[in-house]
Structure 1
């Protein structure tokens, strides 16, 4: 597969004094992972949190050699993520402790059937999950699934999204408390948006912290970040084909 032009830097580099950095990505774009690796080397974090990893997988990473075989050791592609070779430079860019923030499928299904706060547990109020979801999140979920979801599923999908964002925030704060920071979260760009993604949940729980969100995106975006780095898009089939 052919990858296109170099990265386009739209804002200044982050200040290393931040407590938490979010590096949003498009999962199947290797340009994004190369940029994440560069930023991690600059930030020099004490902890690296992955949306993609469970806590058990993170423990395996912390006790394994960081080489091409790591993906097989932790079952990376079995979970449906893009080629591990694209992500390996992120792991090798630092000797930081790795944390897994992945939300189990059973928990996501429970949130779809009830609500994010009930599944999240006793810290739900602290992280703002008792507040109503923004109204336009329903339309965003409809658009993200190419208009293929039944109307009655949209509220549940919003709750699953909120559960994931709040859970990523909680694991990120755990990593900060245990290692002192700075902490880097590797996640999809939608989770890194500052208005209602992970930064918003961190701000609810710990408004004293300095959080810096970098959206590494394909071409133009209207999502809000502290900094935007744009790249060419990866060559891929129309993702809506999966719903046809």
Structure 2
């Protein structure tokens, strides 16, 4: 979270510089594969307003198409705590519900996520009359996992974590990503605990998507469940899709789409689809970590 706050330090400047772009997402909408998917994961670089604007445009189109076809739409947010779903549902039912009210009810920490960066997505979801759900664990719950390990993992997530298929190479890859994301400044003793926390968060989002799918009223076809999360969470190999497959979801039902900037070309193979945008202005996220003391 510290690194996220560093990367969002110039969010106000980013919003000002890209405000015009936010209202003009690309003409192309969801691909046919994305529109058909039962489980659709839409990634982001958290501080890029274009990623939020373009995915909001996708959400509007998906919700409209699903509604016309008699298909329910659920949107699960990484930015909201799954433990707050009762308050979230109550907020959505309010007569004058708005994006900020709903986001706060769902446990989104406005300052930490540099609100209103994600507001276009909430606006689109409310306009589309879709179902909303939180997918993440609270920061305190994640900290407990880092401190206490498996003993702090919520019981409903253990079957997903223990499902076969997670290899030593996968563990090494997650730990390497954690080291890189902390600019090499993280003590090696924390690689394993933080990798576990990452896995638990991914499993929680997968479980939230599965719960949303199961909660839909019986209809002529399965609902579409959309996840809004960071690119690292939606990657097909080690992220939320891994846990969906571990739960028995067929790979053909899952589509993962990353929103990447031009310098993210090396990550493209982790996803089924990639959307490209301009780079958002931001400070060097490693600058403070490089300072002595």
When normalised by structure 2's length, the TM-score is 0.73
What is the CA distance between 1:206 and its match in structure 2? 2.1
Deviations 1:216-241 (A, max 9, x none): 11123323111000111111111113
- Residues 22, 186 of structure 1: 8 Å contact kept: yes
- Residues 257, 275 of structure 2: 8 Å contact kept: yes
In structure 1, C-alpha distance between the alignment counterparts of 2:62 and 2:190, rounded to whole Å: 40
Deviations 1:92-151 (A, max 9, x none): 322111101121223212322344586132552345457455212222111001111111
In structure 2, C-alpha distance between the alignment counterparts of 1:178 and 1:21, rounded to whole Å: 17
What is the CA distance between 1:88 and its match in structure 2? 2.3
In structure 2, C-alpha distance between the alignment counterparts of 1:41 and 1:111, rounded to whole Å: 36
Picking from 147, 151, 162, the partner of 1:113 is: 147
Change (3 A) 1:200 1:157: same
Picking from 228, 246, 258, the partner of 1:215 is: 258
- Residues 163, 246 of structure 2: 8 Å contact kept: no
Residue in 1 that maps onto 2:5: none
Residue in 1 that maps onto 2:283: 237
Larger radius of gyration: 2
Secondary structure of the 1:52 match is: strand
Picking from 75, 82, 89, the partner of 1:48 is: 75
The higher relative CO (CA closer than 8 Å, separation ≥ 6) is in 1
In structure 1, C-alpha distance between the alignment counterparts of 2:26 and 2:265, rounded to whole Å: 13
Of Structure 1 and Structure 2, the greater helix share is in 2
Residue in 2 that maps onto 1:63: 93
What residue ranges of structure 2 are gaps of 5+ in the alignment? Answer: 1-12, 64-71, 217-221
Residue in 2 that maps onto 1:226: 272
- Residues 47, 96 of structure 1: 8 Å contact kept: yes
Secondary structure of the 1:110 match is: helix
Tell me how many residue pairs correspond in the alignment.
Answer: 243
Runs of at least 4 residues off by over 6 Å: 4-12
- Residues 51, 168 of structure 1: 8 Å contact kept: yes
Residue in 1 that maps onto 2:119: 88
| Structure 1 vs Structure 2 CA RMSD | 2.8
In structure 2, C-alpha distance between the alignment counterparts of 1:70 and 1:54, rounded to whole Å: 15
What residue ranges of structure 1 are gaps of 5+ in the alignment? Answer: none
- Residues 29, 57 of structure 2: 8 Å contact kept: no
Residue in 2 that maps onto 1:23: 42
- Residues 146, 193 of structure 2: 8 Å contact kept: yes
**1:169 equivalenced with 2:199 (yes/no):** no
- Residues 218, 232 of structure 1: 8 Å contact kept: yes
